[in-house]
Chain A
């Protein structure tokens, strides 16, 4: 990204990720109803809403894990609706998970190296012979991974088994793995859930670092309002599968529909 783009006001760059009139149903339940949403190249977009509002479903549609019945998804101008998850990931959509979806049987280092998988080229026969070429590729990607380890301050646990780590550190490894993919957009599903205040502060700092140092737009699904108000450039509010509001944090705080959804209708 150019310097000029970063100095303009956030939220004015072209969209990297977008949904158009998207509807997702599970049997009789409508998880997403006619949702249109754009994520711009220079912003942190927070997606908020009460439980069951469709926030995680939205991320799952963007990742290709769910396929919407109606509407389309775009990533940097290319339609991604119906593509398999690994292809969407390889195009540059990375995500972190609610709870931990981490490879518990691997070390922290190997977990992050999995994020490099589709950047690497060694084939099965090549790895069988483990010729210098395969070895050199491993070392080259190790350097990339070490940069991320530095950024997220997990040097001391790099050779620990992830299964043996605490919750906060696992989430950090999850984020590291997503960053290793060198994504062009990062989807984060409730990164702060279940963390204590210090862990939240650390993670918030990392999200800001990622934005400053790597210029990766972030879609943040989050329940913690103080985090959302501090980190997000724009906020989209969901309720019962519909997008009910969108705007800057200040606008959202004053929006009657949002207050309604969270606190119930005033009589």
Chain B
């Protein structure tokens, strides 16, 4: 349990359940949200574009956290689920000219159904074999988009989209997109907190920790595993739809296996089984990716004898090395480290 400062006691069950228990916690959250709200006025357009990408990735990674971190079902197809959401939103928006308030949730639903099908395989297989099956989702998605008639999903040409519109507002600039993403991300993260601290989340964790005991405690294990995939894929679909409206061009290459692996890396770095960990991992890995991709060309320019190829290859090695480092040094992720730090700070100068 998260440690509280001394002298903080709950006198009602509602207090005991509250996520934020002390005034400093409320103040920090308020300040953080204020900072996020003012961000477009504080940073350069380049950084704002990165922030947009972080917000949309955060939704996808929180979804993966639910499937993987909470329900314990390995999923290497999150990027494909995201792609399904993006394509569904894209097709609904370009072919039927539906407003984005409809296409985004429908994109989520489409992805959820796609994820549910693969969730059903989680009923029979676990771990490594399940990972392989979800990789299949990735290839099926790729294959389907490229081989279905071009008039359906655009084939290898992709789909170009119009910006999202809500009333008179057109989300075509980075700043307007930022606020759209911030609101969506906040909503999805709040929803994740709601689910994970109630009946749904407990069933997921129970199935993760011991599916035999979960079944004998009255939890339908099969249904719960499939639901974990459904919910996780729904998040991916929402993220995919938003991403489509941001880039305004969808192609199958944007949703490849490498992205799925990256999402997994974000979970590992942030910490499994923690929503805040998923957000933290997304932030750190995305930031690291950006640093690396901007240092790469710079390095190639400054030290020409290294050669561009070597620089770009070594950047990927560096990123991979970061994840390997976390798996070895802190497999429980940064949230675990943070909790230890918090506990020792509260106890200081005593050891326990």
Contact = CB atoms under 8 A, between A and B. Distances in A.
Contact of B216 (A63, A130, A139, A142): A63
A76 interface: no
Given A124-B195, A127-B199, A97 B213 contact: yes
B216 A105 contact: no
Contact of B191 (A86, A128, A160): A128
Contacts of A107: 1
Interface string A229-249: 000000000000000000000
Contacts of A101: 210, 212-213
Contacts of B273: 105
Given A90-B218, A110-B202, A135-B14, A124 B227 contact: yes
A139 B227 CA distance: 25
A159 B1 contact: yes
Contacts of A114: 202-203, 206, 214, 217, 219
A259 interface: no
A169 to B, nearest CB: 15
B21 interface: no
A129 interface: yes
A177 B1 contact: no
Q: Secondary structure at chain B's binding surface: helix, strand, loop or mixed? A: helix
B46 interface: no
Interface stretch (A38-46, A50-58, A115-123, A214-222): A115-123
A139 B13 contact: yes
Contacts of B210: 101-104
A85 B219 CA distance: 9
Nearest to A118: B218
A134 interface: yes
Contacts of A135: 14, 17
Contacts of B215: 65, 84-86, 89
Contacts of B227: 124
Contacts of B202: 106, 110, 113-114, 117
Given A114-B214, A135-B14, A104 B209 contact: yes
B216 A65 contact: yes
Interface residues of B, number: 34
A115 B217 contact: yes
Contact of B218 (A89, A124, A127, A146): A89
Contact of B217 (A117, A120, A127, A138): A117
Contacts of A181: 217-218
Contact of A89 (B14, B198, B217): B217
A127 B214 contact: no
B200 interface: yes
A117 B1 contact: no
- Residue of A114, A135, A139 most packed against chain B (CB within 10 A): A114
B203 to A, nearest CB: 6
A60 to B, nearest CB: 9
Contacts of A118: 218-219
Contact of A134 (B194, B214, B220): B194
Nearest to A142: B13
Interface in B174-219: 190-191, 193-195, 197-203, 205-206, 208-210, 212-219
A130 B198 contact: yes
Contacts of B206: 103, 106, 114, 117
A95 B216 CA distance: 7
Interface string B1-36: 100000000000110010000000000000000000
A143 interface: yes
A146 B17 CA distance: 14
A124 B231 contact: yes
A247 B73 CA distance: 47
A103 B195 CA distance: 18
Nearest to A163: B209
Interface string A150-191: 000000000111000000000000000110010000000000
A104 B72 CA distance: 13
A236 B217 CA distance: 26
Contacts of B213: 97, 101-103
B285 interface: no
A139 B17 CA distance: 9
B221 interface: yes
Contacts of A178: 217
Contacts of A103: 205-206, 209-210, 213-214
B13 A127 contact: no
Contacts of B193: 130
A137 B212 CA distance: 26
**Which 4 pairs, one residue from A and one from B, show the smallest C-beta to C-beta distance?**
A130-B194, A101-B213, A89-B218, A85-B215
Interface of B: 1, 13-14, 17, 190-191, 193-195, 197-203, 205-206, 208-210, 212-221, 227, 231, 273
11 contacts: A94-B216, A101-B212, A103-B205, A103-B206, A115-B217, A118-B219, A127-B199, A134-B198, A135-B14, A138-B17, A177-B217
